[in-house]
Amino acid sequence: MSAPPQHPGAGRMTLGPALRGPLGVLLALVGIALVALAVGKSPLQDWTSGLVTLVLMGLAAFYAVRRRTLRVSLFLLRPVAGRARTSLVRRTAVELDRLRTWRVAHLVIGVLWALALWWHVDASRGSWLEMLLLALCLGVLLTGIFGVIVQYWLPRSMLSIIEREVRVRDVEARRSAIFVEAEEKILGGSDRLVDAYVADIRPQLQGEPTRVRLFEHTLRGSDPGALLRGQLWRRLEGMQAADAAIFRELIDLAEQKGRLDLNLYHLELSVGWLLAHNALVIGTALLVALHLLAVAYY
């Protein structure tokens, strides 16, 4: 029996150069921030560090505005590009207006914001409110770092998977269609074919892999469809030619379903981190407002 065929793009999924840009900048800034924290003493006064923290928080939040509307481009950077006399200035303005540039700036400002907040707490011997604010800020920073990895890694990994969709409902529809197609293929088949389908194929089509297994596939860059094909291929031994042909088609369907499971996990992961990040940002903003009210009152 020959080895199971490998589809183009199956197997290992590499990270490629996608992480070398924004993530490299972020890691460098995190390193600088850790060195600054190791020094221990804030170079800013109490009110100065608080003002810097507030300004950096507003600048970091400005990225969300740019991501949702083009008004920032229409009223700020695009007019600069239109009035520029040299092509270099125009190209620079357009490059600065790209979302990836805004994203890198958002990461840089976020790290500096965390550092300024630490200095503010250190300079003012922070109260419990400021310590809680610092904890939320750390959560925002960690979810942001995780988001960088997800947003720059998963798209490239998803492109390495043959079966991929960009909407959850499309993945669900395709998985349902695969199960219906598999059930139809075994109609009128031999008892051995039906037994093999019920024992090996149907559990794969109806079951849901654990998130631990999907996370392992994501970290290792492995293709669940190719691994599943290798496990099922040995069932072809001893089958008649007609049954073997149908079972190969069933293996193809199970392989597609395995890749769609990973596709669905990637889609959920790409959205889930942002929900946590936004919730932490909202909580941080509320605590900042309470802190400012307390400062103004006392």
Tell me the mean pLDDT in the region 278-297: 84
In this predicted model, what pLDDT tens digit does every residue of 1-48 receive, in sequence order?
A: 555 554 444 444 344 444 445 555 556 666 666 655 555 555 555 667
Report the predicted TM-score, pTM, of the whole model to 2 decimal places. 0.63
* DSSP character string of 181-214: HHHHHTTT--HHHHHHIIIIIHHHHH----HHHH
Q: Are residues 122 and 202 in the same domain?
A: no
Q: Are residues 287 and 261 in the same domain?
A: no
Min mean pLDDT across 66-70, 136-140, 218-222, 234-238 is at 66-70
Q: Is the pLDDT of residue 178 over 80?
A: yes
Q: Are residues 86 and 191 in the same domain?
A: no
Q: Position of tokens 């669940």?
A: 224
Is the Cβ–Cβ distance between 193 and 245 less than 8 Å?
A: no
DSSP state of 76: I
* Number of compact structural domains in the chain: 2
Higher pLDDT, 161 or 98: 98
Query: Residue 77: what pLDDT?
Result: 67
Q: Are residues 25 and 103 in the same domain?
A: yes
Q: Are residues 213 and 250 in the same domain?
A: yes
Q: Are residues 30 and 125 in the same domain?
A: yes
Is residue 206 in a domain? yes
Domain holding 282, by residue range, is: 19-151+274-297
Q: Are residues 278 and 259 in the same domain?
A: no
Is residue 181 in a domain? yes
Q: Are residues 26 and 81 in the same domain?
A: yes
Query: Residue 106: what pLDDT?
Result: 82
Residue 104's contacts (CB-CB under 8 Å, 6 or more residues apart) are 21, 22, 25
Query: Residue 246: what pLDDT?
Result: 92
Is residue 5 in a domain? no
Burial of 236 (0-12, 13-18, 19+ CB in 10 A): middle
Q: Are residues 45 and 133 in the same domain?
A: yes
Q: Are residues 204 and 262 in the same domain?
A: yes
Q: Are residues 196 and 146 in the same domain?
A: no
Return mean pLDDT, the chain: 76
Tell me the mean pLDDT in the region 110-139: 75
Q: Are residues 36 and 68 in the same domain?
A: yes
Is residue 278 in a domain? yes
Is residue 216 in a domain? yes
Q: Position of tokens 């395709």?
A: 174
